[in-house]
Structure formats: structure tokens, C-alpha cells
Amino acid sequence: MSPATLPRPIQDVAAALDLPQEALVPYGRHKAKLDHRLGAKDPRPGVRTVLVTAVNPTPAGEGKTVHTIGLSMALCRIGKRAIATLRQPSMGPIFGIKGGGSGGGAAQVLPRDEVNLHLTGDFHAVAAANNLLAAAIDTSMVLDNPLQLDPERVTWRRVLDVNDRALREGRTGLGGTANGIPRDGAFDITAASEIMAILALARDLGDLRKRLGAIAVGTSFGGALVRAEDLGVAGAMCAVLRDAIDPTLVQTSEGTPVLMHAGPFANIAQGNCSIVADRIAAQYGEYIVTEAGFGADMGAEKYLNVKCRISGMRPDVAVVVTTVRALKFHSGRFAVKPGSPLPADLGEENLEALEQGSSNLAAHLATLRKAGIPCVVAINRFPTDTEAEIALAKRLALAAGARAAATSEVFAKGGAGGIELAEAVVAAAESGEAKVRLTYPDEASIADKVRAVAELHYGAGSVVFEPRAVEQLGRIEAQGFGLLPLCIAKTQYSRSHDPKQLGAPTGYEFPIRELRVYAGAGFVVPLAGQILTMPGMGRTPAYRGIDVDAQGNIVGI
């Protein structure tokens, strides 16, 4: 299909998958909601799941989304019915430093601007439901407080989909008794909301409604847990989210299908698209190509221990995306800062730095192999890469346990640039080698679960719970949440909690400063190091380059 014919009418994309037209709700010409009930059945026998992950991200960029898209196109080119499943991008990073999340070059999701901005309004629905609950909490407390909710022990936070550092901490209810009870409050970015996590994990509308009611918002003066259901607001929240449970069908730059749904960040949430999207793809595709956010220590770990635990689905193969530049960066020899130009010497041949920095790739491969997942390394080729560097990167990947290592040029060539990768992925997925093992059993204590993840996935030597976390840990287990899985929040730039520790740090102390319960989502969130749940803008935010031209086209994303 030539670029001139794209994007295709969304009905044509649906028809190519044999999707029932009555389950399609078009939003314009090039995107449509799909009835979530299409995924109600168990996955078809023989369907393969490909988990796309990466080394720890660097300012140079690795191309994980590009490869989720490009690999799905390449699989279609070799005769497989492949469907990519992706998270919807958050507008916070789009206007900040990171930019859009629709791929790039010849491997994009279309319509690009709509994907990166409002799409079908799911992010707005999540924020509205979240803030409706916040308003219900404050209303209940100021009007007789029938639940005896302690204002100092309210844990629910407001959200918005903008990086806004000024809202990280604040005080609400100021200006007199008519405005509420003064108390400390805070905003998170929408992608960090528990409701976003719930949207990504709910199997159907009934499950969504149940999870919303189970949200814990604080405790009473007597120590009783107060939930959204107790406030009588969970039904209205579900009404706000009724259409958001349906994933959105869009397409790649080669007209192949993409299901885009939910958008939890991987550093502060579970970092994977919805279970609903994967289950629909498992009904209508042969290959599901799904992306896990950030490095394998983040999105892939949470895919394994949170999403797989709840969905029952398992990956057949993992694709670990890297670049020559990223491996050299992880040597620690280059001064690179987010938002600043890359140093010229990062693009020069340096085999010694590449070999030293490959420790990061090797560590992730070792973790995935211990989890029973065969791995294929995708080396995202850049024009500055030399043949000697590519050859060394392949040798290092194979020596570290990769089943195969393939050079990929999907950014420049689309699906045609990913044929070698696609063939390696099919061979691994159909080998039957996957024997997926979760990191910890349900019955393990929260502390033991943290240690298991920190030691296996992060390389830590020990875990230290700070005093506040120790107190919270005892209360959380006393409230009956000790059997929940974990969704650890930490920096994405390192396997450790410290973004300055590149490569593969080991033997360090991993600090837990705080724990939060996402009772509706069904996991506990330990916060490590200085991770923030509301990002801020930098000195040169991306919004400065975004505009609308005279023809009404959005430019600069």
C-alpha cells in the first residue's frame, strides 16, 4: 500500500481483521472504538504474544514504540496476521521533553496528531472520574462527614494530564468553611492515577465497576478503611468511564491494525496497555505485538507480575530493543542530558565503550531468561553506527543469552526493514521454549516481594524500608492487602533507584520511602528513591515548537 493511500478508512482496517461492523463505533474517518466485549472469550489456540521491551532508556532514544509498530508491520509482510497493542500517549510528555508516543519515520501510528492529543477522550474521562471522586470526598467531609473520614488520612489525589510541578504539593479547602476542610493535598499526572491503572486491568464493564467501588480513599477517625463505594460515587464514576473501557482501533503507516488503550506510565504505574486490547487482539490476530514501557526492569517486570497475573496471558517471546548509542551511553563515559544536544563523540566508533555499556543489555536478558522468556535483541540501526559496532553488538547479545540478534531498520524502511527481526521472532515464538515464571508467589509478604523484585530485576543487594514506609507496611498488611502484587515506582533511567547509576549496578541498598495501596487496581505501590508522580516542565519544553498552520494542520509533535 502506497503512502498516498494512507490512512485507510477505519472500516477497511476492521474488515481486514473480520471484525464485526456492529462492534465498531467510528470517531471520524480514521479511528473507531471497539466493543470491549469482543475480548470476552479466552484467547484462540495458537495465538502468539510478543512482548517488546528495551534496555534502560537514554536521552538518545531506543525506538521501542517504533519497533512495536514496525515489527507488527514486518510480521504482516511475512504472512502473519499481526496486531499491535499500545498505550495511548500522555499529553504531559508530549508538551514536555519526551515528545509524542506514536512512533516515527516509516513506523508510525496514524492519525499521528490525534493519537498524540485527545484521540477518543479516554484520558479526559479518567481525569473526570478521578476528580469526581476527589470532589465527593471533600463534599462528604464538609457536609456532616457521615463516614467520619479523617481529613489528615485522606490518600486520594487529584490529577490532570499536564506536567505541572507547582501542583505536586498544596493545600485545599482554603477560604472559609463553605470551601471545605483545609488539608494537605496533591496532584498526580493522569497516567499515574489508580483509575488509569484500573482501566488497563479491568476485563469488562462489570469488573471496572467493581474495581472502582473498591478504591480506598482514606481511613476514618476510628481507623476503618473508607472506599469509593462507601461515598456512593462509584456508579457515577463508571458512567463517566463507560465508553473509555472500549479500546480504539487505529492503524500503522502501512495500514495494519493497532489497538490503542489506556496509558499508565511504567515508572509510576504498570506501564502496559489494557488487558481488553490484548484479549481482543487474541481473538482476531495470530500475533499480538505489545509494548511494555521503559526498560525491562520496569514495564516488562510489571507486565509479568501484574498484567500476566490478572489476565492469565503469557508472552511467547520478548524483543529487547537497543541501539549502539544506548549501549555506549550505559558505559558512563558520555555526558548526556535530557533536552540537550547529544555529544558528537557518542556517534563515533567506540568498541570499548560499547562492550562496557552492554552490561545493561546483558542484565535485562538474564532477568528475562530467568523468567522463562526467550529473547530476541533488536538492534535499532542509526546512520552513525559502523559495521564493526553492529557486529560487536550482535556478538555481545548472543553471548548474554539472546536467542537471536537482528539488525532493524524499521524507522527508515517500515516493515521491509524488519523482516530479519520478524523471522527471528517467529522462530522463537513458535519454538515452544517459553516457560514463564512469575517473580514471587501471591502468599509472599510485601517485604519479601519487594526484595524478590529488587534483587532479580534491579540487581540490588538489599532493601531498606525507611521509617514512614515501615509504618505504612504494617498498616497495609493489617488492612488485608498483603497478598496483592507490587507495582514499584522508581526511576526509568537506571536498573537501580538512582538515575546516575548506569550499566548494571549490583549489590547496592534499594530504599523504599513510601507505600500506597491501589485497592481497586489490585496492587501495592512502593515508591523508591526520589521518583515523582507529577513531572515538571524543563527549560525548553516541547510545547514551544507545537502550533497549527494556516491549513489547520498541527505541526511540531
Q: Which residue has the cell 515548537?
A: 545
Residue at 33 is within a domain: no
pLDDT digits (tens, 9 = 90+) for 167-209: 888 888 888 888 888 888 889 999 999 999 999 999 999 999 9
pLDDT at 1 over 60: no
Domain-located, residue 332:
yes
Q: Tell me, what's the pLDDT at 441?
A: 96
Residue 417 lies in a domain: yes
pLDDT of residue 339: 62
For the stretch 2-23, pLDDT in tens is: 444 579 999 999 999 999 999 9
Higher pLDDT, 506 or 346: 506
Selected residue with higher pLDDT from 408 and 265: 408
pLDDT over 70 (residue 421): yes
**Same structural domain, 128 and 227:** yes
pLDDT at 262 > cutoff 70: yes
Same structural domain, 127 and 219 = yes
User: What's the CATH number where 474 sits?
Assistant: 3.10.410.10
For residue 537, the model assigns a pLDDT of: 84
- Checking if the pLDDT of 24 tops 70, the result is yes
Q: How confident is the model at residue 34 (pLDDT cuts 50, 70, 90)?
A: very high
Return the pLDDT at 269: 87
- Mean pLDDT check: name the lowest of 66-80, 277-291, 341-355: 341-355
Q: Which of 201, 225, 240 is the last residue of a domain?
A: 240
Burial 165-201 (b: 16+ CB within 10 A, else e): eebeeeebbeeeeeebeebebbbbbbbbbbbbbbbbb
* Residue where a domain terminates, one of 396, 429, 462: 429
Whether residues 98 and 131 fall in one domain: no
405 lies in the same domain as 383: yes
SS3 call for 160: strand
Mean pLDDT along residues 49-77: 94
Domain presence at residue 546: no
In a domain, 345, yes or no: yes
Question: Do both 310 and 268 map to the same domain?
Answer: yes
* pTM assigned to the model: 0.93
Q: Which of 212, 240, 268 is the endpoint of a domain?
A: 240
Coil, strand, or helix at residue 351?
helix
Q: What is the CATH number of the domain that holds 392?
A: 3.40.50.300
User: How far apart are alpha carbons 62 and 509 in whole angstroms?
Assistant: 28
Please check the confidence at residue 321 and state whether its pLDDT lies above 50: yes
Q: Tens digit of pLDDT for each residue in 517-556? A: 999 999 999 999 888 888 888 888 888 888 888 988 888 8
Please compute the mean of the pLDDT values over residues 490-499 and round it to a whole number: 93
| DSSP bridge partners of 189 | 160
The pLDDT-based confidence of 347 (bands split at 50, 70, 90) is: confident
| 201/272 same-domain check | no
Mean pLDDT of 248-270: 94
* pLDDT on residue 336: 73
Query: Are 396 and 282 in a shared domain?
Result: yes
Is residue 538, in this structure, part of any structural domain at all? no
Mean pLDDT, rounded, for 467-472: 95
CA–CA distance, 169 with 149 (Å, rounded to integer): 21
pLDDT digits (tens, 9 = 90+) for 366-400: 999 999 999 999 999 999 999 999 999 999 999 99
3-state SS string over 93-142? Answer: HHHCCCCCCCEECCEEEECHHHHHCCCCCHHHHHHHHHHHHHHHHHHHHH
Q: Is residue 168 in a domain?
A: yes
Q: Do residues 192 and 304 share a domain?
A: no
Do 260 and 384 have their domain in common? Answer: yes
Look at residue 183 in the predicted model and tell me its pLDDT: 87
Number of domains in the chain: 3
Cite the DSSP H helix spans in 202-274: 205-214, 234-240
- Residue 100 and residue 166 in one domain: no
What is the C-alpha separation between 209 and 384, in angstroms, rounded?
A: 51
Residues 466-490: what's their mean pLDDT?
94
Average pLDDT, the chain: 93
- Please state, in angstroms and rounded to a whole number, the distance separating the CA atoms of residues 548 and 538: 22
- 552 domain-assigned: no
* Residues whose CB falls within 8 Å of the CB of residue 110, separated by 6 or more in sequence, listed in order: 6, 7, 30, 102, 250, 251, 252, 253
Q: What is the mean pLDDT of residues 429-437?
A: 95
Assigned C-alpha cell, 22: 456492529
What pLDDT score does 87 carry?
Answer: 94
The CATH code of the domain that includes 136 is: 3.30.1510.10
Share of the chain above pLDDT 90, in %: 80
The predicted pLDDT at position 182 comes to 83
The end-to-end CA distance of the chain, in Å, is 25
Domain containing 73 equals: 3-21+56-121+244-429
For residues 255 and 217, membership in a common domain is answered with: no
Least confident of 137-146, 253-262, 337-346, 429-438: 337-346
Give the mean model confidence (pLDDT) for residues 480-484: 95
**Are 282 and 401 within one domain?**
yes
Assess contact for 3 and 251: CB atoms under 8 A: no
Q: Residues 66-118: pLDDT tens digits?
A: 999 999 999 999 999 999 999 999 888 888 877 777 889 999 999 989 999 99
